[in-house]
Chain A
């Protein structure tokens, strides 16, 4: 025979209701705070409310944004490592690699690690002008850059442990998704070389880009968005090639 259920007293129900409401707020506010973030920061009303629940949310790991594949599914970010032994023999490996990391869960964790390096990436800097314009932002930049460098260095140290006595350099690589219209006309393998793009670790220059401005205006007027994007891509590639000319410089620039 099962035990009879004692109904909860009013006081218990009241107490439990308070706790439940508090917990639900701690569940709702993190993604709300994430979505109400803009160029001016998080909406002050949400930020003030979330401040009360943030420690609890963070402790329980419920401080997530749930923005899966959002706002748009984008390219993936990989880590390429160059491992050189004392004879100068060079081994290049890319992470994640589903032929090496197995089962899929292990592969996916490696994939998340390479995406994490992209997520926390902060270019070298800050530009000297920023320190005068916004010292707090400049300080944030320094912290974010230090975090990126620390994690990148940790990846290098892990690989050095895996390959003792060898020199390790790493760089980030972006794996692009083929454009749908191009793919329909000329299907290519998703692993085609043209879809991999090394990501440069270059400082950001805070300068008014007069050359690009008309292109943006044109884009809104004539729908020629592709032109400015193409020019930017060509400029990136030119910058990349000039750094590549000194070969390992680009890689060691990341690895330092």
Chain B
């Protein structure tokens, strides 16, 4: 074998691996469950906002429309590409009307009604709220928006959804209409489900890697006191954990676990042997944040996002054996098994 053909073979191996990683069709069960969780979390966020709408949006909000726009448009010498039409809506009744529509669209996405349309719309509306509500956002807003963004690339309404019911109802017409087949996709393996899953998986790896590296620059994450400092912030506290001060071995152990788990997540979440432990770590870490540091929405959403590493085949076996077997019979060679 010549050197040229060896290089071609070596390079070809990488191309094949790349293709398998991104373009191998996979079942949509994981993304469908995630749609349900993201939809409910977004819906909750919008309903809570509805009770305080003019506190966060409009001309009399904490950060007024004009001030919110100025944060982005270069009025103070620095600008960015964030933009929202909500900067221009002053009228409280128009804001309420818009918000009502947003809740309706998000609820439709959550229950999986016309998900091909409500998915992108839910994400877009959420993005408009984010660029309007600069200053009032936190990690929850980030992860819920990213997950919604990736889910719209997948047939995430094909299972556990109203779309699945509609698909059965319109079965005869669907077989003749390409538009209906696109609008009401079946729960079969698809490249879209795989791409959406991979993008969210990689995005999570980036979040944890840089979250860990940023912590590694701080002394308290090395001497172990960071966990004490975290539970010592009254504004985050939902359960008083200051008793931990008397147990330095426990709180320093928790600190070291957090740092190392975050830094090594991007490597250890991929091998099947270490994945369950990393997922268990995610449940412990984010469960703790949800229960003790007052960020229930953030904790729940991060645990749900980590669910993207749960194989759809496993969910199929666990949850809907019959649907899984049906899919396996129809497409035995393309189930995305590695």
Contacts and interface: CB of A to CB of B under 8 A. Distances in A.
A79 to B, nearest CB: 10
A74 B236 CA distance: 12
Contacts of B139: 68
A232 interface: no
Interface of A: 1-5, 8, 13, 16-17, 20, 23-24, 27-28, 31-32, 34-35, 54-56, 58-76, 78, 96, 103-113, 116, 139-140, 142-144, 146-147, 150-151, 153-155, 157-158, 161, 175, 177-178, 180, 183-184, 187, 190-191
Contacts of B242: 183, 187, 190
A105 B45 contact: yes
B77 A139 contact: yes
Interface of B: 18-19, 22-23, 25, 44-45, 48, 51-52, 55-56, 60-64, 67, 70-71, 75-78, 80-83, 127, 130-131, 133-140, 142, 145-146, 149, 181, 186, 188-191, 195, 199, 202-203, 206-207, 210-211, 213-215, 217-221, 225-226, 228-230, 232-238, 242, 245-246, 248, 294-297, 326-327, 330-331, 334
B64 A116 contact: no
A54 to B, nearest CB: 7
B92 to A, nearest CB: 11
Given A112-B138, A158-B60, A180 B210 contact: no
A124 B196 CA distance: 47
Contacts of A69: 215, 226, 230
A62 B146 contact: yes
7 contacts: A5-B190, A61-B142, A72-B220, A104-B238, A158-B55, A178-B232, A184-B246
Contacts of A108: 138, 140, 294-295
Contact of B235 (A27, A76, A161): A76
B206 A2 contact: no
Contact of B186 (A2, A23, A139, A144): A2
A61 B242 CA distance: 35
Contacts of B226: 69, 72-73
